């Protein structure tokens, strides 16, 4: 039996209120009223301005830059809802920051993604809804249910409309091969890989290309770009191998000043991304933002009604996870 939507409350932090409003509009519900401000010393203050006792509460807050501020704000909002006797609290985190720190690959370093999972559970989160985790194993760091959605169906709809034949889908590194393979199958395109070597946190070297890109349009796919180093170095070597028009598609465009400058000088014709985070307006290159509000709204409705969310993975009539 479906629950009455009046039992649902959706609130937004200050990270991306525009997305939260779009999600509510897609569901036909009102965005909840909450006060989220900072004291002069920088401490966050939260007050939920309506009754949430016994309600199914959803907190929309990507942990994009300023990552620590937005994460702390989310934790405080969750604590406020828990102390106000919310029946269930779901953290809707379209972009899950710290997901790249998912392993102990050096001596004396933390596994920060696991720490963030522990903090969210300790604050009172009962469930997490997120999109395109950098590493899928991060979902296993939680001792609560995690609904991991994929932006691929939304991005693919836009990419298909561009009619980019002949097209090659390119993974900018070996780690992204699974995502690139899913995109190539969905688009009926061939597949190529750029082997890279990371020089630092902001610089990478593209070493060689595996696959044929000469005389073809190229779509570089990745889950995240922050400094655009991986995308730019891949674009350079692909152009050198005879690629025609180069496009890039990423789920999360967390664009830094360095990324903007690099994109401005690059041969990437268009960057296709989602509104999982606020995308900075720029004339660096053409950026097209597709909305995942309906995807998240449908996920929220299904969670609220205790329905399956697995059909949201469908790309080509079958459940295909990038």
Instruction: Give the residue from 184, 316, 174, 166 showing the smallest Cα distance to 249.
Output: 184
At 42, is the secondary structure helix, strand, or coil? coil
**Who's near 156: CB < 8 A, 6+ residues apart?**
183, 186, 187, 315
CA distance 315 to 322: 10
DSSP assignment letter at 321: -
Task: Give 54-68 as a DSSP string.
Answer: T-EEEEE----SSHH
**Who's near 145: CB < 8 A, 6+ residues apart?**
126, 127, 128
Query: Angle, nearest 10°, between helix axes 112-123 and 67-83?
Result: 30
Total number of residues shown for the chain: 322
**Who's near 231: CB < 8 A, 6+ residues apart?**
172, 220, 222, 225, 248, 250, 266, 268, 271
Peptide bond into 49 cis (omega under 30): no
Half-sphere exposure of 163 (CA within 13 A, CB side): 0
Q: Which residues are catalytic?
A: 196
Tokens for 309, please give them. 């969310």
| Range list of H helices, 242-292 | 257-265
Exposure class string for 122-159: b at 16+ Cβ within 10 A, else e: ebbbbbbbbbbbbbeebbebbeeebbbbbbbbbbbeeb
Task: Give 79-137 as a DSSP string.
Answer: HHHHHTT-SEEEEEESS-TTTT--S--STT---HHHHHHHHHHHHT--EEEEE--SSGG
């Amino acid at each position: 039996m479906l629950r009455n939507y009046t039992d649902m409350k959706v609130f937004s932090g200050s990270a991306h209120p525009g997305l939260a409003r779009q999600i509510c509009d897609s569901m036909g519900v009102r965005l909840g009223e909450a006060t989220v401000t900072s004291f002069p010393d920088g401490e966050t203050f939260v007050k939920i301005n309506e009754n949430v006792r016994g309600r199914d509460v959803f907190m929309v807050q990507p942990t994009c830059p300023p990552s620590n501020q937005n994460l702390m704000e989310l934790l405080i909002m969750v604590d406020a809802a828990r102390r106000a006797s919310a029946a269930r609290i779901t953290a809707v985190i379209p972009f899950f920051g710290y997901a790249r720190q998912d392993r102990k690959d050096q001596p004396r370093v933390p596994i920060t993604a696991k720490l963030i999972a522990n903090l969210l559970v300790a604050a009172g989160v009962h469930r997490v809804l997120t999109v395109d985790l950098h590493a899928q194993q991060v979902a296993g760091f939680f001792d609560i249910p995690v609904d991991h959605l994929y932006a691929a169906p939304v991005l693919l709809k836009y990419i298909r409309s561009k009619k980019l034949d002949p097209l090659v889908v390119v993974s900018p590194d070996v780690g992204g091969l699974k995502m690139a393979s899913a995109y190539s199958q969905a688009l009926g395109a061939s597949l190529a890989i750029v082997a890279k070597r990371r020089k630092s946190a902001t610089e990478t070297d593209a070493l060689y290309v595996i696959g044929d890109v000469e005389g073809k349009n190229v779509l570089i796919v990745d889950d995240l770009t922050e400094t655009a180093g991986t995308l730019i170095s891949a674009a350079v070597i692909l152009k050198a191998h005879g690629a025609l028009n180069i496009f890039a598609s990423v789920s999360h465009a967390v664009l830094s000043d360095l990324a903007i400058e690099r994109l401005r000088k690059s041969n990437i014709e268009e960057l296709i991304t989602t509104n999982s985070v606020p995308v900075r307006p720029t004339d660096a290159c053409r950026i097209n933002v597709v909305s995942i509000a309906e995807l998240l709204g449908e996920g929220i409705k299904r969670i609220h009604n205790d329905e399956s969310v697995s059909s949201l993975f469908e790309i080509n009539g079958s459940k295909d996870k990038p």
